[in-house]
Amino acid sequence: MSPSDTEVETARIRYQDLLRTGPGTLAGRYLRMFWQPVFRSEDLKPGRAKPIRIMSEDFTLFRGETGAAHVVANRCAHRGSQLSTGTVEGDAIRCLYHGWTYDSNGQCIDQPAEPKPFCDRIRIKSYPTEEYLGMVFTYLGEDEPPPLPRYPEFERPEYLLFMSVSTWRSNYFTQLENSLDYAHGTFVHKQWQWGIPTITAQEVDGGVEVHVEGATEEPDYGYFSMPNAHEYATPPQVWWGTGARSFARGWRVPVDDYHHLRLDPEIVPLTGDAARHYVETRAADEARRQRDPVEIAESILAGDESLSDILKDPWALPAYDLINIEDHVALAGLGPIADEPPKERLGRTDSGVTLIRKRWRRELQALREGRPVKREWPRPAQLWANVTEADTELESAQRW
């Protein structure tokens, strides 16, 4: 049977095209057409500037004295000095080297050492910036940005919202694939004693959905949201004294082709005394952290420690650290950038991985050929069931 026209067209996109996101690359152009979270809001204090690297490009992120966050070019237009080393004044940033100052739109507004300032002719790039769910989002595309998408389940003010961020030494796309690779949990996270799963994947309007049977007593679900996020529910969080499940949306944003940012807002549907107890228990657990989990993962990859050593006393670590260490080791173990097929041998449990690649290849092919790409990926209006405290305490919260 000959392949369909669509399959022939899609085959023109190599796997490597999905992985490389620098300026001018297909995947880089595509990801720049969407808002991307680039920083945790609480880590950016008023009057401070930070250098950030996103998709192999460097930028300056700063929070003005008014409290607004801004993203502009990495360097001053004068001599190329790194702007983040300068000072924030109001909603502008002054270069350390010669004092040239730029407002939040990148317009130069002061050149103190110039006898005849020519500020009106000097402008550096600036990028639309918004804050939402505890993250700084920016739009790095060349055109007008679409509205920043909203996620109502995470806006529930009566529930707890946590925000985590870390940088991993692996390509962002390998993490996206891992998000729907539920078979890995049985082996990488063997302390949970999950069974061998049966996985069914299907394309949906907003991305890819997988249905998992056999890993646990209840069926499970995973939702990959185009272009670079996924949503998931945790098991009941008994380690923090509750039967509640939390619900998270994880963005995987390239730093470069070899590292990615993981930004995860997580909502826990608890209120009142149950919420206070949860916050206290979780804080006490995380206070036991003596080493960064990324540091431990890198030590295991270097052969200085082993996962077997860690698993001898898994509860010596904060609850989430062990899971992150295991995943980090598995993904970084793929190499600095994943090998291109056919060095892989995908099986039936990789159906989610296959569909993620298919969706991406379809969009990149359209971009390469100058055809319209899909800019809005509709997410189910209520992706997670409208859980209540009673639901989460008495039985696992069920997905839609």
354: region left, alpha or beta (phi > 0 left; psi from -120 to 50 alpha): alpha
Query: What CATH code would you report for 152-394?
Result: 3.90.380
DSSP string of 186-231?
A: HHHTGGG-----EEEEEEETTEEEEEEESSSSS-EEEEEETTTEEE
pLDDT of residue 217: 67
Measured between alpha carbons, how far is 132 from 141 in angstroms, rounded to an integer? Answer: 19
- 227 preceded by a cis bond (ω within 30 of 0): yes
pLDDT of residue 6: 47
Using CA atoms, how far residue 333 sits from 84, 168, 314, 324, 382, in Å, is 34, 12, 21, 14, 36
- 342 preceded by a cis bond (ω within 30 of 0): yes
Q: Please, are residues 138 and 147 in contact by the beta-carbon 8 Å criterion?
A: no
Measured between alpha carbons, how far is 243 from 129 in angstroms, rounded to an integer? Answer: 37
Measured between alpha carbons, how far is 324 from 245 in angstroms, rounded to an integer? Answer: 18
pLDDT of residue 397: 33
pLDDT of residue 297: 92
Helix and strand totals (H; E) in the chain:
11, 18
pLDDT of residue 184: 83
Measured between alpha carbons, how far is 374 from 363 in angstroms, rounded to an integer? Answer: 7
pLDDT of residue 382: 66
pLDDT along the chain (400 residues), means of 10: 46 88 97 98 98 98 97 98 98 98 98 96 98 98 95 90 93 92 81 79 92 72 92 80 85 96 94 92 89 91 91 81 90 78 77 94 96 91 56 36
Entry pTM: 0.90
pLDDT of residue 234: 79
For domain 39-138, which architecture applies? 3-layer Sandwich (2.102)
Measured between alpha carbons, how far is 237 from 100 in angstroms, rounded to an integer? Answer: 52
Domain-wise residue ranges, the chain? 39-138, 152-394
Measured between alpha carbons, how far is 171 from 334 in angstroms, rounded to an integer? Answer: 9
Measured between alpha carbons, how far is 63 from 390 in angstroms, rounded to an integer? Answer: 40
Q: Please, are residues 135 and 37 in contact by the beta-carbon 8 Å criterion?
A: yes
